[in-house]
């Protein structure tokens, strides 16, 4: 007679060390767990509710901001905690994100700082409406050396002054006393000694961008010009029929390709290897900003005046690859996350929205009572934070994921968050979970305007369908949303 016995090895359930948790054996046969799906759904619902409870996107602002609206923000790709900003009064500030204080300040331009970029070798390039491009040093060591040189004021200098004016000699003595006592204004030191080089242009500049690894940069204004940082004049003029260039951007993957947007509603692609434009599309309204996907060589997005953001593939620009909706006013800036999976937009409707690349509607909307029109938005280099500059003179820091915290997590906590994320992904189409995860509080003005826009859109579609039904077959062809905004497409 055979007798079947249960045999277990002690290694499967006894912990190796006293500090380890006891191992639990589980039978994963679904027949033994009839209520598993119900329990998982309840856990997913609880996790979704907790996610909304802990959503606190706003982190803080940088220092005291500027004295005028902020029109440009630039990241330093060599440093995670440094960022530069330019305002409407011509002032550039370089910030330390850890302390949220400004490191240096430059009075760079007369009028608005229209473009700002940090070069690969750590220099800062700025352009403005005063027809100048300026290169600045943002290296801390440079300023320490300059401050030491300024403090070495010669006490034994001859009393005879080179100036005939007595008032100027008195001012020089006062400045010398300030330097001896170490009370010289930092702004005066930085503005006078931080400047490395000045490039003079024939027209005012609207935008600037630097090549990913070469000493080349491009400017947009009345003309689009390619510059070598070692030369004082542009080396090439790439203009192709645009009245005024509003924005220019290099492709960071295919580094010889750049794109520009003009005031005549055009988006043009250029190749600097041949020093010529390659193709052009004409849209119904003007494009305010362009950004290339850092993880894809061919894809880029355009922020349009018609409150939408359009995604393109440069290999086929007869139609857009995606249309990102939800804003109710002109989109002023757009930026891709370093992962290439998300993009952030800033709009004239005083909100910031975050989109997944493959989805047409925003997954998140940020706003405050004090924040005005958002002129510039940028992702941090680790994709965890977003910087925004607005008309109320403040630079704000936001979390890219509103409920995520950056503190050090234990293994148990990390596993729990990953498990909850998988459950939310599994049940995201269930009605209750979908409603809770999508719900956002927005200002009453935006809510009413979005409802009006929805009614208008439905009315237009209904009218087009009626016209199509009562017209000759084929006389009114259907045009998709991804093609409506494109008026013409030209190759050169």
- Per residue in 181-197, pLDDT (tens digit) is 333 344 443 455 688 88
- Residue 144 pLDDT class (50, 70, 90 cuts): low
- Residue 19 pLDDT class (50, 70, 90 cuts): confident
> What rounded mean pLDDT belongs to the chain?
86
Rg, Å, the chain Cα set: 29
Name the more confident of 162 and 449: 449
Average pLDDT over residues 36-43: 92
Query: How high is the pLDDT of residue 241?
Result: 75
- Residue 145 pLDDT class (50, 70, 90 cuts): low
Structure token digits, residue 163: 């100036």
pLDDT > 70? residue 118: yes
End-to-end alpha carbon distance in the chain = 90
pLDDT > 90? residue 350: yes
Residue 237's beta-bridge partner residues?
225
- In angstroms, the CA 220 to CA 136 distance is 20
Structure token digits, residue 171: 């001012």
Average pLDDT over residues 230-241: 88
Question: pLDDT digit string (tens) for 309-329?
Answer: 999 999 999 999 999 999 999
* Neighbour count for residue 134 (Cβ, 10 Å): 21
If DSSP states are collapsed to H, E and C, what string results for the chain? CCCCCCCCCHHHCCCCCCCCCCCCCCCCCHHHCCCHHHHHHHHHHHHHHHHHHCCCCEEEECCCCCCCCEEEEEECCCCCCEEEEEECCCEEEEEECCCCEEEEEEECCCCCEEEEEECCCCEEEEEECCCEEEEEECCHHHHHHHHHHHHCCCCCCCCCCCCCCHHHHHHHHHHHHHHHHCCCCHHHHHHHHCEEEEEECCCCEEEEEECCCCCEEEEEECCEEEEECCCCCCCEECCCCCCCEEEEEECCCCCCEEEEEECCCEEEEEECCCCEEEEEEEECCCEEEEEECCCCCCEEEEEECCCCEEEEECCECCCCCEEEECCCCCEEEEEECCCCCEEEEEECCCCEEEEECCCCECCEEECCCCCCCEEEEEECCCCCEEEEEECCCCEEEEECCCCCCCCCCCHHHHHHHHHHHHHHHHCCCCHHHHHHHHCCCCCHHHHHHHHHHHHHHHHHHHHHHHHHHCCCCCCCCCCCHHHHCEEEEEEC
* Neighbour count for residue 293 (Cβ, 10 Å): 22
Length of the chain: 492
Residue burial 20-33, b: 16+ Cβ < 10 Å; e: rest: eeeeeeeeeeeeee
* Least confident stretch, 85-89, 146-150, 471-475: 146-150
Residue 143's beta-bridge partner residues?
none
- Residue 160 pLDDT class (50, 70, 90 cuts): very low
Average pLDDT over residues 239-261: 89
Average pLDDT over residues 221-234: 91
- Residue 31 pLDDT class (50, 70, 90 cuts): confident
Using the structure block, give the residue that is written with the tokens 């020089």. Answer: 172
Query: How high is the pLDDT of residue 100?
Result: 92
Share of the chain above pLDDT 70, in %: 88
Q: Are 388 and 407 contacting, i.e. CB atoms less than 8 angstroms apart?
A: no
Q: Is the pTM of this model over 0.75?
A: yes
pLDDT > 80? residue 475: yes
Query: How high is the pLDDT of residue 192?
Result: 52
- In angstroms, the CA 405 to CA 385 distance is 11
Query: How high is the pLDDT of residue 193?
Result: 64
């Amino acid at each position: 007679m055979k007798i079947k016995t249960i045999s277990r090895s002690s290694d499967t359930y006894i912990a190796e060390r006293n500090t380890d948790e006891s191992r639990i054996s589980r039978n994963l046969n679904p027949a033994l767990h009839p209520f598993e799906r119900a329990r998982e759904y309840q856990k997913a619902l609880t996790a979704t509710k907790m996610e909304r409870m802990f959503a606190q996107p706003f982190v803080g602002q940088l220092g005291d901001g500027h004295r005028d609206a902020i029109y440009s923000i630039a990241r330093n790709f060599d440093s995670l905690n440094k960022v530069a900003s330019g305002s409407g009064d011509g002032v550039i500030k370089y910030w330390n994100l850890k302390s949220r204080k400004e490191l240096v300040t430059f009075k760079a331009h007369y009028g608005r700082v229209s473009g700002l970029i940090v070069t690969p070798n750590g220099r800062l390039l700025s352009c403005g409406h005063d027809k100048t491009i300026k290169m600045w040093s943002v290296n801390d060591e440079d300023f320490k050396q300059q401050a030491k040189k300024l403090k070495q004021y010669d006490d034994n200098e001859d009393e005879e002054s080179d100036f005939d004016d007595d008032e100027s000699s008195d001012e020089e003595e006062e400045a010398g006393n300030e330097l001896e006592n170490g009370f010289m204004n930092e702004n005066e030191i930085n503005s006078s000694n931080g400047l490395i080089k000045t490039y003079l242009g024939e027209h005012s500049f609207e935008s600037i961008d630097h090549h990913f690894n070469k000493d080349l940069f491009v400017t947009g204004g009345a003309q689009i010009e390619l510059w070598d940082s070692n030369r004082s004049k542009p080396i090439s003029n790439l203009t192709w029929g645009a009245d005024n260039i509003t924005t220019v951007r290099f492709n960071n993957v295919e580094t010889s390709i750049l794109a520009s947007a003009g005031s005549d509603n055009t988006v043009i692609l250029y190749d600097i290897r041949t020093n010529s434009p390659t193709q052009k599309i004409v849209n119904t309204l003007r494009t305010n900003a362009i950004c290339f996907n850092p993880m894809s060589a061919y894809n880029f997005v355009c922020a349009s005046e018609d409150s939408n953001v359009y995604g393109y593939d440069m290999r086929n620009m007869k139609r857009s690859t995606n249309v990102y909706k939800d804003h109710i006013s002109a989109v002023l800036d757009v930026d891709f996350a370093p992962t290439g999976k998300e993009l952030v937009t800033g709009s004239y409707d005083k909100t910031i929205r975050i989109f997944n690349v493959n989805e047409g509607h925003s997954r998140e909307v940020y706003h405050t009572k004090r924040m005005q029109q958002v002129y510039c938005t940028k992702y941090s280099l680790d994709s965890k934070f977003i910087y925004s500059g607005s008309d109320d003179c403040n630079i704000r820091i936001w979390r890219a994921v509103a409920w995520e915290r950056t503190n050090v997590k234990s293994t148990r906590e990390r596993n729990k968050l990953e498990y909850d994320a998988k459950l939310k992904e599994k049940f995201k189409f269930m009605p209750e979970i979908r409603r809770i995860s999508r719900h956002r509080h927005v200002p009453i003005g935006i809510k009413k305007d979005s409802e009006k826009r929805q009614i208008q859109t439905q009315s237009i579609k209904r009218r087009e369908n009626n016209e199509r039904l009562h017209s000759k077959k084929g006389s009114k062809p259907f045009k998709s949303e991804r093609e409506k905004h494109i008026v013409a497409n030209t190759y050169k």
